[in-house]
């Protein structure tokens, strides 16, 4: 019973708070997009528009539930539930605050399932199941646009799961564990310069990029782009069922942000105010706020990227995964294995990651140039011709 109460309290806390947080993240995204585009944004419902998410929630609850006659009704209704369930289940092993602080009230615990030694594997396994909600939604809609969106989503998730998983293998080798609590505490115990971002900056970049592709966020939202597929795999959905898909997407976005903060940026650690030996009154609240603030910063970046970078073409999307990220993540893993095998300092990984990134950028540019030259009809660009008219002499020279 002593362990059951904190578990039930945490489950209720997460299930009750995440939908509300997602609603206000949507408001934040609308406000940020309005600010970036020099618009006003939602400002009518409540002060500064802060009650807009409540109005939107009431509207979706009261909106007519339209189910077209041509759909597979059972699968059509199952798909949104699968998307939300897998997103919430993946969050079960994510520590969203300090876990072993003795000053935390006994009925609270900032992780639903503590001590899972394969926590990272669990997250990737459950997260990969989210594609079933998309595929079933597209298939059950019996709509060509929805089916094309579902096919795109499945190809995208399968492709980007490879660099996503390989990017964290270096962290697992450095930490000697797949447990998120262990990975976080190892960084905290060593201080600021033990954060994994110093040793695996390239892995952090690949993890964050591949996570965006997994969540179908711009610039990787090829599965639902309005210009080509009307609305993609959720074209036939409306009201609460449509909202559940976006609840799953924003929950996934929250999970991405917490994972990036925990694995690469020291979790709740912050020099001076949230240290491993911080034991002042209310220290656990500060630690909780620090981790929440770090996750919020990454959510902010994800939202800003949506309104900054244009959408990739599908061939560019797949090329980025198979020709850039997968070879780069494999090379990064080999570099970590080399350092661990020879017991070298982990600080060698910082210049190694930067050199690897620069070298692969040059290799990719050279391969692309060679591929363009080999195409039929390729015409080499001629050098500009300069005509010298000095003293009335017409002399042409190529530079």
CA distance 190 to 199: 13
pLDDT of residue 388: 57
CA distance 30 to 45: 14
**Structure-token match 């960084």, residue found:** 187
pTM here is 0.88
User: Domain ranges in the chain?
Assistant: 4-341
The one-digit pLDDT tens for each residue of the chain (399 residues) are: 567 888 899 999 998 899 889 999 999 999 999 999 899 889 899 898 899 999 998 888 888 888 888 888 898 889 888 888 998 898 999 999 888 888 888 888 899 988 889 889 999 888 888 888 888 888 888 888 888 888 888 888 888 888 999 999 999 999 989 999 999 999 998 889 999 999 999 999 999 999 988 888 878 887 777 666 777 777 888 888 888 888 888 999 999 999 999 999 999 999 988 888 887 888 899 999 999 999 999 999 999 998 888 888 888 888 888 888 999 999 999 999 999 999 999 999 999 999 998 988 888 788 777 877 887 766 666 556 555 555 555 454 544
pLDDT of residue 152: 83
Partners of 385 in beta bridges: 398
CA distance 182 to 116: 10
pLDDT of residue 370: 82
**Structure-token match 């969050």, residue found:** 91
pLDDT of residue 387: 58
In whole angstroms, what separates CA 21 from the centre of its chain?
17
pLDDT of residue 226: 65
pLDDT of residue 30: 92
pLDDT of residue 383: 55
pLDDT of residue 183: 93
pLDDT of residue 347: 92
Three-class SS of the chain: CCCHHHHHHHHHHHHHHHHHHHHHHHHHHHHHHHHHCCCCCCCCCCHHHCCHHHHHHHHHHHCCCCCCCCCCHHHHHHHHHHHHHHHHHHHHHCCCCCCCCCCCCCCCCCCCCCCCCCHHHHHHHHHHCHHHHHHHHHHHCCCHHHHHHHHHHHHHHHHHHHHHHHHCHHHHHHHCCCCHHHHHHHHHHHCHHHCHHHCCHHHHHHHHHHHHHHCCCCCCCCCCCHHHHCCHHHCCCCHHHHHHHHHHHHHHHHHHHHHHHHHHCCCCCECCCECCCCCCCCHHHHHHHHHHHHHHHHHHHHHHHHCCCCCCCHHHHHHHHHHHHHHHHHHHHHHHHHHHHCCCCHHHHHHHHHHHHHHHHHHHHHHHHHHHHHCCCCCCCCCCEEEECHHHCCEEEEC
């Amino acid at each position: 019973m002593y362990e059951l109460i904190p578990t039930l309290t945490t489950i209720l806390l997460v299930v009750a708070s995440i939908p509300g947080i997602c609603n206000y993240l949507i408001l934040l995204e609308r406000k940020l997009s309005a600010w970036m585009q020099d618009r006003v944004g939602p400002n009518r419902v409540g002060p500064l528009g802060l009650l807009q998410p409540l109005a939107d929630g009431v509207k979706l609850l009261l909106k007519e539930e339209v189910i077209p006659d041509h759909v597979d009704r059972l699968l059509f209704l199952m798909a949104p539930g699968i998307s939300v369930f897998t997103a919430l289940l993946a969050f079960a092993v994510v520590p969203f605050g300090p876990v072993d602080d003795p000053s935390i009230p006994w009925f609270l615990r900032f992780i639903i399932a503590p001590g899972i030694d394969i926590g990272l594997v669990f997250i990737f396994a459950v997260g990969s199941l989210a594609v079933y909600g998309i595929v079933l939604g597209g298939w059950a809609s019996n709509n060509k646009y929805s089916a094309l969106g579902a096919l795109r989503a499945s190809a995208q998730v399968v492709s980007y799961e490879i660099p996503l998983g390989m990017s964290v293998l270096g962290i697992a080798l450095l930490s000697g564990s797949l447990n998120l609590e262990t990975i976080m505490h190892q960084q905290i115990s060593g201080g600021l310069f033990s954060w994994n971002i110093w040793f695996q900056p390239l892995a952090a970049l690949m993890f964050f990029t591949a996570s965006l592709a997994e969540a179908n966020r711009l610039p990787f939202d090829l599965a639902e782009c309005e210009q080509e597929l009307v609305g993609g795999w959720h074209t036939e959905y409306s009201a609460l069922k449509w909202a559940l898909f976006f609840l799953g997407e924003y929950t996934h976005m929250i999970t991405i942000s917490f994972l990036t903060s925990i694995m690469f940026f020291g979790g709740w650690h912050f020099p001076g105010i949230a240290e491993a030996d911080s034991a002042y009154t209310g220290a656990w609240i500060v630690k909780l706020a620090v981790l929440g603030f770090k996750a919020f910063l990454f959510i902010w970046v994800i939202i800003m990227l949506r309104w900054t970078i244009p959408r990739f073409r599908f061939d560019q999307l797949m090329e980025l995964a198979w020709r850039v990220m997968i070879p780069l993540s494999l090379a990064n893993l080999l570099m970590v294995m080399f350092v661990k095998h020879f017991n070298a300092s982990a600080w060698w990984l910082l210049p190694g990651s930067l050199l690897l990134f620069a070298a692969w950028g040059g290799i990719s540019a050279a391969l692309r140039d060679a591929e363009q030259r080999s195409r039929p009809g390729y015409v080499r660009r001629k050098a500009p011709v300069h005509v010298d008219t000095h003293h009335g002499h017409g002399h042409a020279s190529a530079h």
